[in-house]
């Protein structure tokens, strides 16, 4: 995959994430509703995630908020740089997913002081995930993709191109 395609995928993830969050925060007004039943295994549930993944390292102060914005921006910059390196063609999809998701969550934290989470997947009372958003899903899938590629045997052609 080319760098241009990778950046286009990252941009598309960012735009879709932000559009859905705009709808959740604005016209749909999920915050006022709290939780909305969609189907037996999925609700829309308002969560203000002030931490990083799984709500860890909550940033409850303005300084903490901006330090978290800075730290995640640095990580996003590194991922963006990794996408441009020669020999990373096979990993660009994973990097693009991580970058697009990270940018979406960075914008939330800068605008609101928290990340807007709303997707509540559950099976009865069992919740395999915390409430999440499109950006979180993209980051998780991007990391999973990179892990699978790291442990999957590479084809001869791919090794010779690296």
Domain ranges of the chain: 3-154
Helix segments in 54-133, DSSP class H = 62-84, 92-112
Tokens found for residue 154: 């590479």
Q: Which of 17, 91, 120, 136 is catalytic?
A: 136
pLDDT digits (tens, 9 = 90+) for 107-144: 999 999 999 999 999 998 888 888 999 999 999 999 99
Task: Please state, rounded to an integer, the average pLDDT across all residues of the chain.
Answer: 90
**pTM higher than 0.85, yes or no?**
yes
Question: Among 53-57, 71-75, 146-150, which is the least confidently predicted range?
Answer: 53-57
Answer yes or no: 136 catalytic.
yes
pLDDT digits (tens, 9 = 90+) for 20-53: 999 999 999 999 999 999 999 999 999 999 877 6
Q: Which of 17, 108, 117, 120 is catalytic?
A: 117
Answer yes or no: 120 catalytic.
no
DSSP characters for 3-61? HHHHHHHHHHHHHHHHHHHHHHHTTT-HHHH-EEEEETTEEEEEEEE-SSGGG-S---S
Confidence band (pLDDT; 50, 70, 90) for 2?
very high
């Amino acid at each position: 995959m080319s760098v241009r395609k990778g950046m286009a995928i990252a941009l598309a993830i960012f735009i879709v994430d932000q559009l859905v969050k705009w709808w959740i925060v604005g016209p749909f007004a999920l915050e006022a509703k709290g939780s909305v039943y969609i189907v037996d295994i999925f609700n829309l549930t308002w969560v203000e995630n002030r931490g990083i993944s799984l709500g860890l390292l909550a940033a409850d102060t303005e300084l903490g908020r901006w330090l978290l914005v800075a730290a995640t921006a640095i990580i996003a910059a590194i991922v963006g740089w990794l996408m441009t390196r020669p020999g990373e063609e096979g990993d660009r999809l994973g990097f693009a997913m991580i970058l697009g998701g990270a940018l979406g969550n960075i914008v939330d934290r800068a605008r609101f002081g928290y990340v807007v989470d709303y997707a509540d997947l559950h099976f009865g009372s069992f919740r395999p995930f915390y409430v999440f958003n499109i950006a979180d899903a993209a980051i998780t899938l991007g990391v999973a993709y990179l892990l699978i590629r790291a442990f999957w045997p590479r084809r001869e052609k791919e090794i010779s191109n690296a």
